[in-house]
Amino acid sequence: MASRGGFNSRIGFIAAAAGSAVGLGNIWKFPFEVGDGGGAAFVVIYLAFAFLLCFPVMVTEIAIGRRTNKNPVGAFTDLGHKNWRIVGILGVLAGVLILSFYNVVAGWAFGYFVEMLMGHFTIGQNFGTFITDMVKVGSYGVLFMVATALIVSRGISGGIERASKILMPTLIVMMLGLVAYSFTLPHAIEGIKFYLLPDFSKITLPVMYNALGQAFFSLSLGMGALITYGSYVDKKENIVTSAAYITLADVGIAFLAGLMMFPFVFSQGLEPTGGAGLIFVTLPGIFGTLGPTLGILVGATFFLLLSFAALTSTVSLLEVPVSYVVDEHKVKRKKAVGLVAGVIFLLGIPSMMANGYSGFFSHFITYLGAGKATDFMTFIGHIASDSFLPLGGALIAIFAAYVWKKHNLNEEIEQGFPGFKGSLGEKYIDFAITYLAPVVLIIIFVLTVLDRFFGINYF
């Protein structure tokens, strides 16, 4: 498949896939989910889901991609019946929708980097004004989409692989620096305790439900992003150990993000339940207390880091629909990128306006039984990330176990991993995709749809 391109090295694939996984989900979303979910108890549940349920699904996605050398739509068509292409289409659609709003938040992150460089530490209090400034939000949005498109248009090894190999290690170094700094703050220890000492009475159904959703989103599962990346992987690679590295990197960086955030929050005497604003509202003021020079240095570093993390994720979100258009409609990569990125940018405009600028998009829809309206951006998130991903994950597992069949999956994994067949690892992965993942994910999907859109909640 030389014409389709591929990763040049094992580490390149791992860096790109870990780059896809590590993003706003880890650094922005994870800490506030932990804050809302009661601290360390949430962390424990999240870790259990990530390793026990998500990891086998990840192995399966990569194996499907490598076996077929195709985008998700082509992959399901090749291995199963052509009706199964609907799972691939669901994935392409999820990629398009998620990227449309993810790019907006990524633009905010980059905008905050610029504000920090200028020493505007009061931006946190003015977050509401910032996100309704359509000139700024629009320009940063364009900039971010263009950067994403440039990387994707250069193809797998020259674009995605090379960018990830530089950005990922840089991110880890910056992050470690910030964690070390946060530990030196007064009251840091209270934050660390909140984060690391679990209170098991806080484990409730909603906490489990959020933890699973978070693990899925964070690991980039359920829409075929890893089928697509897997399609560029060499037969010599060991899929299981690669997936283990990707999972560890993703979980590790989310863990570091929490380790940094809670000392910051507690040192300011703030509540950990700060919600989605934890990063954009709380942090700039904290950087401001460091004085102008150090404040600018730490603040700009942080938001640059967040932008890098987001960039390797937007790249993977764009690669899914692009590879679909390239493979299935025989369009040249550069043209496909321009087309798809343009459409997604346009689809993102309502999300840009959904945070106070436009009354219509800010109060877009009122679900049955809900007291207040949901904005357009949150609505798209509910559909694409909260509903499509668990559904897609369940269907991927069901497909591999019952349609493609386990012995074929195991044969694909065995290539690059001699001795896999008959091992404990094989037995566990078989169990997880045959029973555990379909059952748990379908339950989560049904409960989410009932709860989100029909106001029926059982817990």
Residues lying near ligand TRP in the complex (CB under 6 A) are found at 20-21, 23-26, 98, 217-218, 220, 223, 225, 313, 316-317, 389
| Beta carbon of residue 132, minimum distance to ligand TRP (angstroms, whole number) | 24
| Beta carbon of residue 288, minimum distance to ligand TRP (angstroms, whole number) | 27
| Beta carbon of residue 248, minimum distance to ligand TRP (angstroms, whole number) | 15
133: Cβ contacts below 8 Å, ≥ 6 apart: none
Cβ atoms 265, 278 nearer than 8 A: yes
Instruction: Supply angle C-alpha 244, 72, 143, rounded to 5.
Output: 85
Residue 375 three-state SS: coil
* DSSP secondary structure of 244-256: HHHHHHHHHHHHH
* DSSP secondary structure of 305-367: HHHHHHHHHHHHHHHHHHHHHHHHH---HHHHHHHHHHHHHHHHHHHHGGGTT-HHHHT-B--
| Beta carbon of residue 225, minimum distance to ligand TRP (angstroms, whole number) | 4
- Shorter beta-carbon distance to ligand TRP: residue 220 or 448: 220
Around Cβ 315, how many Cβ atoms within 10 Å? Answer: 26
Residues comprising the chain, all counted:
459
- Shorter beta-carbon distance to ligand TRP: residue 65 or 425: 65
| Beta carbon of residue 318, minimum distance to ligand TRP (angstroms, whole number) | 9
- Shorter beta-carbon distance to ligand TRP: residue 16 or 401: 16
- Shorter beta-carbon distance to ligand TRP: residue 21 or 298: 21
- Shorter beta-carbon distance to ligand TRP: residue 25 or 74: 25
- Shorter beta-carbon distance to ligand TRP: residue 26 or 362: 26
Please report which helix (H) or strand (E) contains residue 407, including its range: helix 406-414
Cβ atoms 99, 377 nearer than 8 A: no
| Beta carbon of residue 137, minimum distance to ligand TRP (angstroms, whole number) | 19
